[in-house]
Amino acid sequence: MFSGTSLRDPVLINAIGHTAGALLFGLILELLIRDRQTRGVRPVRLSILAAALAHTWNVGSLIALAFPNPRSILIGIVMTISFSVLSLLPAVLLQVALRGRQSLITIAGYVVSTAAVVLHVSELFSPSVSGHCDGRFMNFRAQCRNDESAKLAISAQ
């Protein structure tokens, strides 16, 4: 994973960031669980969920960075889980921020997050259709076209 890397290498920077995130969110998760056990505070439940989602995303990304074969089905499953929990995190944080008010906005947040999870899972089962390339963001379109051109060139050989 780290052979031939420099301080400007994105893999090294991502590995450092995800390691720090996994450690920090693991610590936050432990502190929240202890606080809930000692004080029995109920509102901590969503904070524990948010910390667990963030921790899971960081650990999943570390597993993907460390795995030698990024195109394996195992990494596909790990990344699907990782990005799915990352997609659920904004809805949980929105619910925490709204503190039970504005239930319609909270529901809308969960609907959007669930749609993102469905897209991630569908991409796992249908790798020929990349959900990331179906987005309407113009800056990603060129990269997706290049990826599709590379796939066509490889399949033609």
The gap from C-alpha 63 to its chain's centroid, in whole angstroms, comes to 12
pLDDT band at 52 (very low <50, low <70, confident <90, very high): very high
Check pLDDT > 90 for residue 20. Answer: yes
Residue 137 or 115, more confident = 115
Give the predicted TM-score (pTM) of the model: 0.73
Can you give the three-state secondary structure of the chain, one letter per residue?
Answer: CCCCCCCCCHHHHHHHHHHHHHHHHHHHHHHHHHHHHHHCCCCHHHHHHHHHHHHHHHHHHHHHHHCCCCCCHHHHHHHHHHHHHHHHHHHHHHHHHHCCCCHHHHHHHHHHHHHHHHHHHHHHHCCCCCCCCCCCCHHHHHHHHHHHHHHHHHHHC
Domain ranges in the chain are 10-126
pLDDT band at 35 (very low <50, low <70, confident <90, very high): confident
pLDDT band at 138 (very low <50, low <70, confident <90, very high): very low
Place of tokens 């929240």: 32
Check pLDDT > 70 for residue 18. Answer: yes
Give per-residue pLDDT as tens, 61-115: 999 988 888 788 888 899 999 999 999 999 999 999 998 788 899 999 999 999 9
